[in-house]
Structures are given as C-alpha cells and as structure tokens.
C-alpha cells in the first residue's frame, strides 16, 4: 500500500514538471461590422461625438443638428475583390476617412482599416494582385500632408505611409507604381516657394514606405515620357440620378453593372451637454471648542468637533476629626 502512495506522489510531481504552462491568451479585438448587399442600399455605421464637434469647430446642437454625409471618391480592385474609398463629412468639415472592402464581388462589405480623423481617401491602384495603394490627404479647408495606404497581401491589411516629411499644404497631381516596390508621385505645393518652385517629383524603391525627391520645378512636370499605360478601369463610383445613393459599378464589356449601393446620408452631429454635478453642500458651522486654559477654537472644514474638555479632578480633603467633648 505504501509503495502505491509513493508512486502516485512521484508521478504527480513528474507530470507537474513536464507539463508546460498554458500561454496567456491574446486579447480579443472587436471584428469590424459586416454589411450585405442584397438589393437594398447599405447605410454605414457612424457615430458623431462631442469631441468631433469641438475638434472641427462645428455649431451643431440638439435643436439644430448637422447632417453627416458619406462621400465615395473612387473604386478599384482585382478580380472579385473590390475596394471603395472616401470620407464622412458635414457641410463644412471632413470628419473621417473610410475604406470599404468586398471579398466576394460586392455582396459582403467591411472596413479593413481604421478611419483616419480629418482625412479623405481617393484613387485605388493595384500594380499586382497583392500590392495595392490608396491615395489620401488630410483635409482642413484644403488638402495637406498626402499619404498612401498600402497593402502587400491583397487588401487584408493596410499600412499608412506619408509622402512628405513635414506637414504642409500639398496635393498629389498624379501617381503610379510599376511594381510592388517602385513608383512615382507628382506633388503640387499649391503655393510657390521663395525660389518660385511649386511642383516636385518623388520616386520610391520601397513600395511607398519612403520617398526621394528627383525633380523640382516652377512649371507643371511633364510625365508623359515616364507614365506607363494604364489598363481600363474595372470599377467606378457615381451618384444615382436622385443624388441620394452612391453606386459602385463593374465593367461588363461596354456596359457597367451595379454591384453595390450606399446611402449618402450617414447620420448627424449634435452636441450633447455633459451632465452637471451639483456642488457639495456647505458644512454647517461648528460650535467653538474650549481648550485647556480657557482658549476657544473653531474647528476647520472637514474637522470633527472634539468633545469639550473637562477640568482635571480636584484632590479630596481628608475629613476633619473631632475630639470627644468638642462641638
């Protein structure tokens, strides 16, 4: 019996030493909402916050909310994978960028990357089935700080690459990529510098991760000798006749077929006042406290009034004894 107990104890120790600890679980990330196009227009989720209203200096109240619109600027893709780019905006401010992706030809849609505050997305360009780029600009009354969203896995993941090192007013006039790594971009600074230069040509050898200036000119740069011939676009975006929907269409020979529809109206912005917390009630005045020596003290805020001090006990006198016969 003893040897069985001994063997069970040894076995449990060996198992505890050999069994590897359970690795910690990675935190769960929320899946982006998915939409299905079944013939009815899709309305994207959009929530305007008080921070958005303050950041853009909007005057939107609960009594007079500001309508928010979806604007789709371009569409592109390879095969059944479709991407549409654009932004959410009010009548006077660009709120967020938006990039939509469909892996099945337009039935299912989702957002493969986070929305960028204050940005607009434009042209979608794929050089290979896996390498693609989406042009973007920050937008505050005029374009600035151009950038690319780039993918190397067919649109599953996207990374943001700035074109210019500094944040400045500028717009991309034209761009193209010859392969997964090489590309050209033409920048218009909108305003000439002290030397009169306004237009710049940049090249990349890293798929857009870094850019090198190759040409600076006061006149528009002629890129006809550099620009490759582009194939005819497979997809396009246009508004419907009533101006209420964005239509994403795919080329079918000489015709265009609608593959998805999105509503232009996306919601509204209205500043919701924060609940006001009433100030704490003032403390009732406390009676003065007598300290030893006849000194009175008034307790301060938050201090409890101590019990009044009592005088020290007086020593008792011994009783006086009387002799017999004394009265």
Query: Residue 17: which pLDDT band, with cuts at 50, 70 and 90?
Result: very low
Lowest mean pLDDT of 171-175, 219-223, 276-280, 319-323, name the range: 319-323
Q: How many CA atoms lie within 13 A of 234 on its CB side?
A: 14
pLDDT greater than 70 at residue 176: yes
Q: How far is 284 from 286, CA to CA, in rounded Å?
A: 6
Query: Residue 275: which pLDDT band, with cuts at 50, 70 and 90?
Result: confident
CA dihedral 134, 149, 170, 202 (to 10 degrees): -90
273: buried, middle or exposed (CB in 10 Å: 19+, 13-18, 0-12)? Answer: exposed
Cβ–Cβ < 8 Å for 299, 283 = no
Q: How far is 125 from 117, CA to CA, in rounded Å?
A: 22
Q: How far is 75 from 100, CA to CA, in rounded Å?
A: 9
Query: Residue 323: which pLDDT band, with cuts at 50, 70 and 90?
Result: low
Burial annotation 206-218 (CB, 10 A radius, 16+ → b, else e): ebbeebeeeebee
How many helices, marked H, and strands, marked E, lie in the chain?
Answer: 2, 19
| 181-240 per-position pLDDT tens digit | 999 999 999 999 888 999 999 999 999 999 999 999 999 998 877 777 777 889 999 999
How far CA 20 is from CA of 26, 34, 192, 229, 261, in Å, comes to 18, 39, 65, 58, 52
| 286-315 per-position pLDDT tens digit | 666 666 666 666 666 656 555 555 565 666
**pTM exceeds cut of 0.85:** no
Pair type for strands 94-102 and 108-109: unpaired
| 35-75 per-position pLDDT tens digit | 999 999 999 999 999 999 999 999 999 999 999 999 999 99
Kindly report the average pLDDT of the chain as a whole number. Answer: 85
Query: Residue 10: which pLDDT band, with cuts at 50, 70 and 90?
Result: very low
Average pLDDT of the residues in 7-34: 53
Residue 249: count other Cβ atoms within 10 Å of its Cβ. Answer: 18
∠ Cα 129 131 135 (to 5°): 120
Cβ–Cβ < 8 Å for 147, 166 = no
């Amino acid at each position: 019996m003893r040897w069985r107990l001994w063997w069970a104890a040894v076995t449990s120790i060996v198992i505890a030493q050999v069994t590897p600890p359970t690795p910690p679980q990675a935190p769960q990330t929320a899946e982006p909402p998915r939409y299905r196009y079944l013939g009815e227009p899709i309305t994207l989720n959009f929530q305007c916050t008080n921070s958005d209203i303050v950041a853009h200096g909007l005057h939107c109240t609960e009594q007079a909310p500001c309508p928010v619109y979806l604007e789709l600027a371009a569409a592109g893709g390879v095969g059944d994978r479709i991407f549409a780019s654009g932004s959410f905006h009010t009548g006077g401010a660009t709120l967020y960028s938006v990039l939509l992706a469909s892996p099945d030809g337009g039935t299912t849609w989702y957002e493969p990357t986070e929305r960028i505050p204050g940005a607009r997305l434009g042209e979608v360009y794929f050089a290979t089935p896996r390498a693609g780029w989406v042009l973007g600009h920050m937008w505050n009354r005029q374009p600035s700080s151009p950038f690319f969203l780039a993918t190397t896995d067919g649109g599953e993941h996207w990374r943001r690459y700035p074109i210019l090192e500094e944040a400045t007013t500028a717009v991309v006039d034209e761009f193209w990529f010859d392969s997964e790594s090489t590309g050209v971009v033409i920048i218009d600074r909108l305003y000439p510098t002290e030397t009169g230069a306004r237009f710049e040509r940049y090249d990349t050898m890293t798929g857009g991760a870094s850019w090198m200036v190759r040409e600076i000119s006061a006149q528009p740069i002629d890129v006809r000798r550099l620009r490759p011939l582009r194939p005819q676009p497979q997809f396009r975006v246009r508004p419907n006749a009533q101006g209420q929907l964005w239509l994403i269409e795919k080329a079918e020979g000489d015709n265009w077929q609608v593959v998805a529809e999105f509503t232009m109206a996306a919601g509204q912005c209205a500043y919701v006042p924060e609940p006001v917390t009433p100030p704490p009630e003032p403390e009732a005045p406390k009676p003065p406290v007598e300290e030893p020596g006849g000194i009175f003290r008034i307790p301060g805020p938050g201090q409890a009034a101590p019990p009044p001090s009592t005088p020290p006990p007086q020593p008792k006198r011994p009783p006086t004894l009387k002799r017999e016969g004394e009265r």
